[in-house]
Amino acid sequence: MRLSIFGLGYVGSVSLGCLAKDGNQVIGVDIDPVKLGLIADGKSPVIEEGMPELIAEAVASGRVSVTDDVRQGLMQSDISFICVGTPSLSNGDQNQTAILRLTEQLGEALKEKSEHHTLVFRSTLVPGTVEKTLIPMLESISGKQDGVEFDVGYQPEFLREGSSIKDYYNPPFTIIGASNGQAHERLRELYSSLPCQYRETSIATAETMKYFCNIFHAVKITFANEVARLCDGMEVDPHEVMGLLCEDKQLNISTAYMKPGFAFGGSCLPKDLRAMQYQAKRHDIEIPMLGHVLRSNEAHLDLALQKALAWKEQHGVRKVAMLGLSFKPGTDDLRESPLVMLAEQLIGKGMQLSVYDPNVSLSRLLGANKRFIENTIPHIGELMSEELTPMIEQADIVIVGQNHRDALTTLAQRCRSDQLILDLINQPQLRELDAHYLGLSW
């Protein structure tokens, strides 16, 4: 294929070398004459093992050329990859000066091109930038329409400095957000030799994915370092602790707990966080991330309350049915349950609450949670109902906090078009019901 790469920094240079090695004709475009000169001479503009050989081989093959002319780069290719930098401004926002200037130049070049062209942005971009800013710019300047005379896509890159060539040829997946199927056809063919899945998604999802991959890496590093500081204060070997932690592939290094949902609770997570926060204070150790986990959890709980109260204010309603009370399904454990906390806050705000949880109702009869309910939350215990149908029929707001199959079936049969269903656990079937649906963060 005929490809052009705009921006010959780290990502652009690696992509140029690898795509040329794969047999494509590649033209590199940059405003820096030093980079252009180095590549033209078969030398790598970035220092990394394997790059000098990769660039030298690519240039010697005759499949690589360079220019500072944006028009030339676009005219002499069928697919363009945009890899210019998007550094931070002093206020933390993204500096999009280079990407905006280049997009304007690409729009001018598109105006003159008669053949269909595909543009793929690879620069890290704030979600929404491509569809809300860059595509409208391209259409306005070129006088052409995205999806008709040209296509636009977004491809996040996952190249680590120091192992970029290896990462290029062994990616976890190839993620492409594109405006239409024609762009996917071209890019799927281009990357067909890579040993990974080609994943189609929206442009906004692809933009966002890049950010949270990087942020997740930062969180993992920070977690390990805070563990190390705490372990050091308690005279424990942090490498042994983290080594054992990472051996657990069922919960620790896995997809467990990685799906958005409601706040956490129960008898372990909150108290163990508090215990380590106290140990940090004892030893004068700073753990900013771990120290704010509980507050972040409370913010998620607050969001559910805010959404329920907003509906109350808008519609003048007060009757709430809550499906679930224990801290997670399949247990009667109410200790530090976020649903108990939400119930208490709703009562405090004047809502008329009724609660259904078959596990907790049974435990009240058997006495497993009897003392806790009677001594700690008697006001909520009195609001529990074993009659699900009338509870749903009388409610103005139904809060789904657990996936009880019988409760969801009854809700589907008995919900009303004027009811709000507030979904805290992301149950897709609730979106199809004849009621107003509102997710917690979806």
Residues at the binding site for NAD(+) are 30, 35, 86, 124, 161, 271, 335
Q: Which residues are annotated as a binding site for substrate?
A: 158-161, 210, 257-261, 265, 328
d(CA 434, CA 442): 18
Burial class (CB in 10 A: 0-12, 13-18, 19+), 171: middle
Beta strands in 83-232 (DSSP E): 117-121, 150-154, 174-178, 198-201
Instruction: Indicate which residue of 196, 231, 268, 415 is catalytic.
Output: 268
Give the single-character DSSP code of 158.
Answer: -
3-state secondary structure of 208: helix
Beta strands in 7-149 (DSSP E): 25-29, 64-67, 79-82, 117-121
Is 268 designated active site?
Answer: yes
Question: For residues 109 and 70, is the Cβ–Cβ distance under 8 A?
Answer: yes
Give Cβ neighbours of residue 285 (< 8 Å, ≥ 6 apart). Answer: 229, 230, 232, 233, 279
Task: Retrieve residue 93's tokens.
Answer: 């926002």
d(CA 380, CA 386): 14
Give the single-character DSSP code of 94.
Answer: B
Task: Retrieve residue 341's tokens.
Answer: 């906390």
d(CA 178, CA 418): 38
Give Cβ neighbours of residue 369 (< 8 Å, ≥ 6 apart). Answer: 332, 333, 334, 360, 363
Residue whose structure tokens are 């800013």: 133
Helix (H) or strand (E) holding 153: strand 150-154
Residue whose structure tokens are 């820096």: 32
Residue whose structure tokens are 């391209």: 138
Q: Which residues are annotated as a binding site?
A: 30, 35, 86, 124, 158-161, 210, 257-261, 265, 271, 328, 335
Closest CA to 206 of 154, 136, 140, 247: 154
Q: Euclidean distance between the first and final Cα of the chain, in Å?
A: 40
d(CA 13, CA 15): 5
Q: How far is CA 64 from the centre of its chain?
A: 36
Helix (H) or strand (E) holding 352: strand 352-356
3-state secondary structure of 398: strand
Active site residues: 268
